[in-house]
Amino acid sequence: MGHGHGHGLPASTGGRLTGRLWAAFGIAAAIMVVEFVVGFATSSLALVSDAAHMLTDVVGVGLALAAIMAARRANSKSNRTFGLYRAEVLAALANAVLLFGVAGYVVFEAVQRFEDPPAVPGLPVLLAASAGLVANIVSFLLLRDGAKESLNVRGAYLEVLADLIGSVGVLLSAAVTLLFGWRLADPIVGVAIGLWVLPRTWSLARRALHILFQHAPERVDVDDLTARLTAVDGVAEVHDLHVWTLTSGMEVASAHLTLDKEGDQAAVLASAQKLLADDYGLEHATLQIEQPDAKCHELSW
């Protein structure tokens, strides 16, 4: 039996990104309080909607920080052979559930207001939304690089992106209300913000569930991988092949390779590991090499 070399979370995720996450957390928390206060004081559903999305930023970035710190501390525990890397996937799923809830609430509340929209003073909403827009732009730039490396940071990044678009919408509704006094502008923008974030939330939830259910990475064709392993010199048959994602940036594989009569165990192991690493990016692979007359019992599951 042999295995390839594993790898942990990207170093930047555990180091450089931590400072950026703390900065984004502080910015989001401060602006969230301002938007909630002004939103409720002015009865602006659009601003309350944006503040609610800002709340998901605070929770999302907080979960990202907690997941990184938990994984960093727990990886040395001998009974946690994969550490707590899945914590960031659970955090991403929690973000998605929270976003679904917020979007649903905003849409429901906005529909109730269409019949009798309240008067919303445009200037306070305009000023609060402007502050939110600036804060979201700063947070967006802080998290942009990390979103490519970590699913959980990507969740926080998507929420900031949604808030950025939302802040633009609130600015527009406040300007329309201020200039023309059109009361429907506020609930319409509230609905638009709620609906805009739903497809992105579904995409995040789908990716998190894909990992939690241990599906093979979408980029890996398992049938093709099986065929190519079978074609390795010295291999007669491949079974019990599994490919899954532990967390973002950490993909794992395991397989049993049965030798043919002329197969050399060391050569087959080296060739198979090279194939998995070079052609599929699977650097952590556990491979069991079996002799032709000593094939293991295959499990039904």
Alpha helices by DSSP H, listed for the chain, are: 11-14, 16-42, 45-74, 87-113, 122-143, 151-180, 185-212, 222-230, 265-280
CATH code, domain carrying 154: 1.20.1510.10
Rg of the chain over Cα atoms, rounded to whole angstroms, equals: 25
Which of the listed residues 193, 212, 231 is the one where a domain comes to its end? 212
Q: Are residues 80 and 160 in the same domain?
A: yes
Longest C-alpha distance within the chain, in Å? 85
Co-location of 228 and 162 in the same domain = no
Q: What predicted TM-score, i.e. pTM, was given to this entire model?
A: 0.71
DSSP letter string over 270-282?
HHHHHHHHHHH--
Domain encompassing residue 25: 7-212
Same domain assignment for residues 207 and 233: no
Chain segment 110-164, per-residue pLDDT in tens:
788 887 777 788 888 889 889 988 988 888 888 777 766 666 677 677 777 777 8
pLDDT in tens, 16-44: 667 778 888 898 899 989 988 998 888 88
Yes or no: say if 285 and 241 are a contact pair by the CB < 8 Å rule: no
Tokens of 29: 């928390």
